Structure 1
Amino acid sequence: MKKSILLIAIFLSSLSCLQAQKLDIIPKPVKVEQKEGAFIIPSSVQIIVDKKAEKSADYIKTSFSKYTGIIPVVSIGNKHKKNTIAFLVDEKMNLPNDGYKLTINKKGILIKGKSSNGVLNGLQTLLQISSAKDVKKGSIPFAKIEDYPRFEWRGMMLDCSRQFFDKQTVLNYIDWLAAHKMNIFHWHLTDDNGWRAEIKSMPDLTLKGAWRGPGEVLLPSYGSGDKRYGGFYTQADMKEVVAYASARGISVMPEIEIPGHSRAVTASYPEIGCAISQELKSVQGEVKNVWCVGREENYQILDSIIREFSEMFPFEYIHIAGDEVNRANWEHCPKCQALMAKEGFTDSFQLQNYFFKRVQTIVDKYHKKTDGWNEILKGGEIKPNTLISAWQGISYGIESAKKGYETIMMPGQYLYFDMAQSENERGHRWAAITDTKRAYSFEPIPNDDLTPEQQKLIKGVQGALWSEYLDRPTRFVEYQSYPRISALSEIGWSKKEDKNWEDFYGRLTHSHLQRLANMGIAFRDFPPTAIYQNGTITVTPPYENAIVRFDAQGNEPTRQSALYTKPIQTKDYEQYMFRTFFNEDVASPAVKVEKLPVANWSTSKVEVLNISENISEHVDKSGIWYLTFTPTADARANGVVRTVSLFENDKLVQSFADEKTLKSKPRLRFVIENYNEKNTYRLDFTVENKETKESSAKVNFNCSPYLEPEVKVTSSMAENPKFPISTLEDYNAETYLRTDVACANGDWILYTFTNPVTSSKIDVLTGIPHHPRFIVNNGYVEYSYNGIDFIKGDAFDYGNVSIFPKQPVKAVKIVITGTNNEPLMASQDLRINP
């Protein structure tokens, strides 16, 4: 009996040991078996590298040393010896490409890969095991792993045109991709705002087209300001990057952005563009940024460019883009129109198709295949071996696969990592607010829309980081990339049935964030959640042992701010901000205190819901209040909201009768003028779900932190009718003014209040909301207490300026002293603090 008890105790002890040693591998392997015990790495351990993986021997050595602190002796061979670590290639393994088997036992460590890339994937798993939080340094727990990727294409794109990243930054980026078993680096080298690849047959592409600023052929943009900005990669640089990536199991696919997004080309060689007098703007506001399809010499130029690219980049694909082409240029170009007449074309999409067929012939000539954005499917047939990068949405990937093309799924709504990660963070918003959880939720194969054969055409998955707004703050490229790329790696590698957000988040926060920190990545940490209820702020850290600090004066918390340790009693919750701090380089965004929803619903039936809620405990002051309807998930954004009414003491305050779709995330403005703590408030609204689809949302009611006094705005500048001056009067943070031309010395915008406004601070913002595009670089603000006499305030800094009036303000004026050197100028509503 005692013996049995002892055996049980030993078993439970070993089980506890196994459970404690979480390996936290990302992406999650196909099959993991852990056993009791660990291989203790000898101080003079020998690493054996198969000759077929010899090009990666130095990388294996340095990586192993960095993660374990032990400098190994490396030899080339194909036999595993006792107490050694062997990296061997076995092409006969019954595994998919890039697959591997990892065995760790008392004899040593053996990694067998289907290919050299499989060996490197095994290396990454070994390095992650050695750096897991629960694993003692210098030891590797016994384990047996069989692993292989779900998709053959696991890619990430980095835009080096809008912002130029030096060679070392690119090499670091490749290292981080390799650590996540990614195998494609899509290098976006050319665009409107800079040509970054040396082409010896066309030297002006980099002598001129790699630079922007005063006196350059390209105007300043995306925060580059009134200085010369730019750079490029020499052919030697690019060959070095290719070799560096290859040693890490990554192929580099270059992108030549044609025929649109080519202002850097046409500014350097104007004859390449269409000979037109009109300045027809692209969707980004660029002019003359399209190759002339009807100019025969352009195909000779493209031949020389593609030839040089094909010599530098051994990867089988060249990406030739094809997105967002401003075809209006062709419609006004004599040569393009003559070509249309000659070929019998009836629309400009056929011209686009003609262009791509010509380019594909050139690509084929140099023994490469063509990759292009999903727009190249328009206008006619293209070669069947074309690869389609579906970026505009999942439906475009479905369309591509149905047409028989191999397809890379990279919908902007999930995998464009230039998207903001929350409402209050910097970044694009046109596709979605995309945090790590949303990115992780993406499923690349839409089973219900494709046949099994069509599903096989989904070759893989890819993320993208466009760099328009990566100029600041420092290292923002890292903040936008991780841990979202960690999520992307699991989408591309792990089995669909193994994907689980809670499990992934556990591995990420338990060990993997520290790995990212050890790699030197300034990643985005997860913010805490702060909830206000009944006079108390309660904060939930994002994970165990997370450090949360707070500020009670409305400022962003710093590392010197107070540490949150227990609930905070206060009625002034609006001023509190909270933030997670990981290390000196890493923190989360600061978050404000949230109030609980005032209402919610969830249904999947066809029905009408009449909802009435007493919201008295949520209303605590007079002011402007916003009611928001937020779907709990994209798939649950069905139905409509209508007949929304707010009552004070059973008396109607305000009502909205029109119907709004839940997908539009309705935001309704209410004014509460006579708040009294004895008042009662009721919210009534109707939800109609018209189909048997899920409709689920939370309803929030929050007081605006700003004043919204009646204002009239005038300007010396001509407005764009789609973005009129009147947008500066609506206090909607998402609407803004756009002019039709760049601003110039002497231009102005005047905000005049109907009645003088008492304010502690007024923020004056230019540019597109959330983005530093079309900002005022040269100018200052003035303000007046009587509407006649103006006081000069501060100059604009990165498009923004603030004033701190001592009396009620009658008018605020933007005074411009020089051009912003961009195609146009934009301005926003004033933010008027009480």
Structure 2
Amino acid sequence: MKKSILLIAIFLSSLSTIQAQKLDIIPKPVKVEQKEGAFIIPSTVQIIVDKKIQKSSDYIKASLLKNAGINSTVTAGDTHKKNTISFLVDEKMSLPNEGYKLSVTKKGVLVKGKSVSGVLNGFQTLVQICSAKDVKKGTIPFVKIEDYPRFEWRGMMLDVSRQFFDKQTVENYIDWLAAHKMNVFHWHLTDDNGWRAEIKSMPDLTKKGAWRGPGEVLLPSYGSGNKRYGGFYTQEEIKEVVAYAQDRGISIMPEIEIPGHSRAVTAAYPEIGCVTTQETKSVQGEVKNVWCVGREENYQILDSIIREFSEMFPFEYIHVAGDEVNRANWEHCPKCKALMEKEGYTDTFQLQNYFFKRVEKIVEKYHRKTAGWNEILKGGEVNPNTLIFAWQGINYGIESAKKGHSTIMIPGQYLYFDMAQSENERGHRWAAITDTKRAYSFEPIPTDDLTSDEQKLIKGVQGALWSEYLDRPTRFVEYQSYPRISALSEIGWSKKEDKNWDDFYGRLTHSHLQRLANLGIAFRDFPPTAIYKSGTITVTPPYEGAIVRYDTQGNEPTKESALYTKPIETRDYENYMFRTFFNEDVASPAVKVEKLPVATWSTSKIEVLNVSENISEHIDKNGIWYLTFNPKDEATSNGVIRAVSLFENDTLIQTFSDEKTLKSKLRLRFVIENYNERNTYRLDFTVENKEAKESSANVNFNCSPYLEPEVKVTSSMAENPKFPISKLEDYNIETYLRTDVPCANGDWILYTFTNPVTSSKIDVLTGIPHHPRFIVNDGYVEYSYNGIDFEKGDIFDYGNASIYPKKPVKAVRIMITGTNNEPLMAGQDLRINP
């Protein structure tokens, strides 16, 4: 009996040892078997590399040294030997093409791949094992792994047109993709704001079209300012990058943006565009950015461009775009109208289809296949071999597969990493607020909408990083990419049934964030949660061991700020900001203190809920308070809200009787003027769930940190009726002014208060809220104490300026001293501090 107990104890002990030594592999392998013990790496270990992957030898050796501390000598061979680390190709393995087997025993390490890319995938897993937090340096745990990808296409796109990234940055980006077993780098080389690939038959594409600024054919844009900005890659540099990627198991697919998004082309060679008297704008506000479909010479030009691309890029696909084409140009172009009449076309989508059929033939001429965005399916059939990238939404991927096309899922709502990661961070918002968890939740195959044969046409998944707002802060391209690409890698590689957010987050935060840091990536760390209740702020770090710092003056914490160690007692919680710090280069966004919800509900039934909550403990001062209804997620935003009333000592303060949907992001304004701590406050409202769908939300009630005095706004600039000047009077940070024209020297916007306002600081913001499009580049703000005489304040810095008045202010005025080189200008509400 004692012997049995002893054996059980030994077994449990060894089991805990195995479990404690987490490998934290991302993406998660198909099958992992861990055993007790570890291979002790010799001080200078011999690495055996199959002759088929000899081109990758230097990369393998350098990466093992940098990321795992393994010093090695490399020899070519096809046989595994004792005490070596071997990387061999075995084409007879019964695994998919990119699959591999990794075995670590006391004899050494053997990585066998079905192909060269399979071996490289196994190599990346080995590097991750050696760099796992629980693995002792100089050892590799005994393990057997059998692994292969779920999808054959696992891609990531980087836009280098709006912002230009040099060759070294691109190669770094490729290294990071390879470390995550991604296999396609989609290089977006041309767009309205810069042509980045040398074309020897058309030198002005880079001599002129790669540059913007004063005196250039392209105007400044996306933060490039009043200076010459741009760059391009020579054909020799491109070939070097292609070879660099191949050594790491990455194929590069180039993209040529046609027929739209081509302002860089038409600025360098105006004859390529349509000749019209009607100047129409694209969705981004660009003019003259479309190839003329009716100009026969353009197809000869495209032939030469595609020929040179095919010589630089050996990959089987060339992406020819086709998205967001401003077809209105063709409606006014004599050559395009003549072609429509000749072909008997009734709409311009047919003209677009004509263009792409001709382009497909050119691409085929150079032994390549065509890829394009989902819009190219409009107007008629395209070649069955054309690969479709479904970016506008999942339904477009479904449409593509049903039409028989191989399809890559790249929906902006989940996998566009130019999207902001939270409400208060820089980035686009048109598709969604997309943090790492949301990205990870994406499932590429809509099984309920496709037959089993149609599902097979979903060839893979891809992310995209458009670069409009990557100009600042420094290394923002890395912040927007990771760890969201870590999540993307698991979507593309791991089995659907193995995907689990909590498990992934554990592997990510336990070991993988440190791996990202070791790779030199300035990633976005996860923010803490700070909750205020009954005079105390309590902070929860995002994961074990996370370092959280805070500021007490409403500023973004720095690495010199106070370290959070215990709950903070204060009544001035609004002034506190908290932030996670990983290292010198890596931090989370700063977050404000949250208050607990004043009410909540959750139902999946058709029913009416009458909610009445005593919210006295949540109210602690006079001021302007905002009530918001926040669904738990998109799936729970069902139902309507009405009859929202706030009572003070059972006396009605204000009521809102209109019915609003939960989806509408309802935000209601209340004014509390007679607060004292003996008052009682009650919130009443009605929720009606009209369908048997989940309705679930938190109700939050927060005091505004700003003053909201009555104001009248006027301007010299014509307004856009959909975004009128009156939007600057409502103190809603989500609404804003758009003019109908660019701003120019001498333009102004005047804010006049009904009564003078006492304020310590007034912030004047231009551009769209949360991301700097249509900002004031050149100008200053001024202010008046009497409404007549003005004093000059700050000049605008990247669209923003501030004033610090010494007396009550009657008026604030934006004075513009130069164009912003954009189609229009946008302005926001003043932020008036007490």
Do the structures match in fold with TM over 0.5?
Answer: yes
Aligned to 2:131: 131
Name which of structure 1's ranges 298-307 and 168-177 shifts more when overlaid on structure 2.
298-307
Counterparts of 1:208 and 1:107, CA distance in 2: 60
- Give the structure 2 partner of residue 433 of structure 1: 433
Question: Following superposition of structure 1 onto structure 2, how do residues 252-651 of structure 1 map, counting pairs within 5 Å?
Answer: 252-651=252-651
Determine helix, strand or coil for the equivalent of 1:763: strand
SS in 2 for 1:14: helix
SS at match of 1:678: coil
In structure 2, give the amino acid aligned to 1:715. Answer: S
Segments of 4+ in structure 1 off by > 6 A? none
Equivalent position amino acid for 2:687 in 1:
V
Shift, 1:104, TM fit: 0.3
Question: Which has the higher mean CA deviation after the structures are superposed, 392-401 or 238-247?
Answer: 392-401
- Asked if 1:70 corresponds to 2:70, the answer is yes
Instruction: State the match for 2:711 in structure 1.
Output: 711
Q: Helix, strand or coil for the counterpart of 1:293?
A: coil
| Alignment partner, residue 211 of structure 2 | 211
Q: Whole-Å Cα distance in 2 between the matches of residues 354 and 658 of structure 1?
A: 51
Q: How many angstroms apart in 2 are the aligned matches of 1:660 and 1:358?
A: 50
Q: Do 2:67 and 2:519's aligned partners in 1 also have CA atoms closer than 8 Å?
A: no
- Are 2:102 and 2:109, in contact at CA under 8 Å, matched by a contact in 1? yes
Deviation, structure 1 residue 259:
0.9
Distance in 2, matches of 1:826 and 1:665, equals 22
Residue 731 of structure 2: aligned partner: 731
Specify the alignment match of 1:655 in structure 2: 655
Partner of 2:251: 251
The whole-number CA distance in structure 1 between the counterparts of 2:288 and 2:649 is 61
1:372 is paired with a residue of what secondary structure? strand
Alignment of 1:773-792 (within 5 A): 773-792=773-792
Return the alpha-carbon distance in structure 1 between the equivalents of residues 90 and 608 of structure 2. Answer: 63
Aligned-pair CA distance for 1:210: 0.5
Alignment gaps of 5+ in structure 2: none
Following superposition, the deviation at residue 620 of structure 1 comes to 1.6
- 2:63 is the counterpart of 1:51: no
- Aligned residues, how many? 834
- Does structure 2 retain, via aligned residues, the 8 Å contact 1:190–1:255? yes
1:803 aligns with 2:803: yes
Question: What do the CA deviations read for 1:106-130 (whole angstroms, capped 9, x no partner)?
Answer: 1111111011000000000000000
Name the aligned partner's letter for residue 347 of structure 2. Answer: D
Residue aligned with 1:517, SS: helix
**The 10-residue stretch of structure 1 (94-103 or 715-724) with the greater mean CA deviation from structure 2:** 715-724
- The aligned counterpart of 1:766 is 766
> Whole-Å Cα distance in 1 between the matches of residues 666 and 396 of structure 2?
27
In structure 1, the gaps of 5 or more residues are: none
| CA distance in 1: counterparts of 2:322 and 2:393, whole angstroms | 16
Q: Does 1:79 align with 2:95?
A: no
- Partner-residue secondary structure (3-state), 1:94: coil
Partner SS state of residue 289, structure 2: coil
- Map residues 1-12 of structure 1 onto 2, 5 A cutoff: 1-12=1-12
Shift of 1:642: 2.2
User: C-alpha offsets along residues 163-214 of structure 1, whole Å, 9 cap, x if unaligned?
Assistant: 0000000000000000000001000111111111111111111000100111
The residue type paired with residue 101 of structure 1 is K
Residue 140 of structure 1 aligns with which residue? 140
Say which SS state the counterpart of residue 480 (structure 2) adopts.
helix
Measure how far apart 1:614 and its partner are. 1.6
* AA in 1 matched with 2:800: N
- Cα separation, 2, equivalents of 1:312 and 1:171: 16
Letter in 2 for 1:162: R
Q: Whole-Å Cα distance in 2 between the matches of residues 2 and 654 of structure 1?
A: 76
Shift of 1:87: 0.7
1:77-97 Cα deviation digits (max 9, x unpaired): 111111111111111111112
Cα distance in 1, alignment partners of residues 21 and 706 from structure 2: 51
Q: Could you tell me which amino acid in structure 2 is paired with residue 788 of structure 1?
A: I
1:14 maps to 2:22 = no
What is the match of residue 688 of structure 1? 688
Deviation at 1:725, TM superposition (A): 1.6
Q: Are 1:829 and 2:834 counterparts?
A: no
2:94 alignment partner in structure 1: 94
- Distance in 2 between residues matched to 1:650 and 1:403, nearest whole Å: 63
Output the CA distance in 2 between the equivalents of 1:372 and 1:806.
59
Alignment of 1:101-140 (within 5 A): 101-140=101-140
Q: Does the residue aligned with 1:600 lie in a helix, a strand or coil?
A: strand
1:628 deviates by: 1.3
| Partner SS for 1:832 | strand
Letter in 2 for 1:322: G
The aligned amino acid for 1:424 is N
Whether the 8 Å contact between 1:221 and 1:773 is mirrored in structure 2 is no
Q: Return 501-510 or 656-665, whichever deviates more.
A: 656-665
SS in 1 for 2:149: coil
**What is the CA–CA distance in structure 1 between the aligned matches of 2:688 and 2:359, rounded to whole Å?**
51
CA-CA distance at 1:676 after TM superposition: 2.6
Alignment TM-score, normalising by the size of structure 2: 0.99
Give the aligned residue type for 2:103.
T
Distance across 1 between alignment mates of 2:460 and 2:127: 25
The whole-number CA distance in structure 2 between the counterparts of 1:667 and 1:353 is 45
Structure 1 residue 346, shift from structure 2 partner: 1.2
Moved more, 660-669 or 500-509: 660-669
Which sits farther off after the overlay, 589-598 or 672-681?
672-681
Distance 1:357 1:695 in 2: 47
* Deviations 1:326-345, CA, capped at 9 Å, x for gaps: 11111111111111111111
In structure 2, the residue matched to 1:35 is 35
For the residues of structure 2 that align with 1:337 and 1:630, how far apart are their CA atoms? 50
TM-score w.r.t. the length of structure 1 is 0.99
Q: Which moved more, 1:503-512 or 1:824-833?
A: 824-833
Return the alpha-carbon distance in structure 2 between the equivalents of residues 313 and 400 of structure 1.
Answer: 26
Distance 1:692 1:207 in 2: 61
Q: Considering only aligned residues, what root-mean-square deviation do their CA atoms show, in Å?
A: 1.2
Map 1:146-225 to 2 at 5 A: 146-225=146-225
More off after superposition, 67-76 vs 146-155: 67-76
Q: 1:794: how far off?
A: 1.6
Whole-Å separation in 2 of the counterparts to 1:612 and 1:257: 56
Matched position secondary structure for 1:479: helix
Cα deviation per residue 1:530-577 (whole Å; 9 max; x = unaligned)? 001111111101111111111111111111111111111111111111
2:746 is aligned with what amino acid?
G
Query: Given that residues 272 and 291 in structure 2 are in contact (C-alpha distance below 8 angstroms), is that contact kept between their aligned partners in structure 1?
Result: yes
Residue by residue over 1:192-239, the C-alpha shift from the partner in whole angstroms, topping out at 9 and shown as x without a partner, is: 111111111111110001001111111111111111000001111111
Q: Secondary structure at the match of 1:454?
A: helix
Asked whether the 8 Å contact 1:353–1:379 carries over to 2, the reply is yes
SS at match of 1:307: helix
- One-letter identity of the residue aligned with 1:116: V
Q: Secondary structure at the match of 1:802?
A: strand
| 1:293-324 deviation digits (Å, cap 9, x = unpaired) | 11111111111111111111111111111111
User: Displacement of 1:657 after TM fit?
Assistant: 2.4
Could you tell me how far apart the structure 2 residues matched to 1:408 and 1:644 are? 46
Say which is worse superposed, 545-554 or 118-127, in terms of deviation.
Answer: 545-554
Aligned residue for 2:356, secondary structure, equals helix
Q: Which amino acid aligns with 2:55?
A: K
The aligned residue for residue 744 of structure 2 is 744
Superposed displacement of residue 2, structure 1:
4.6
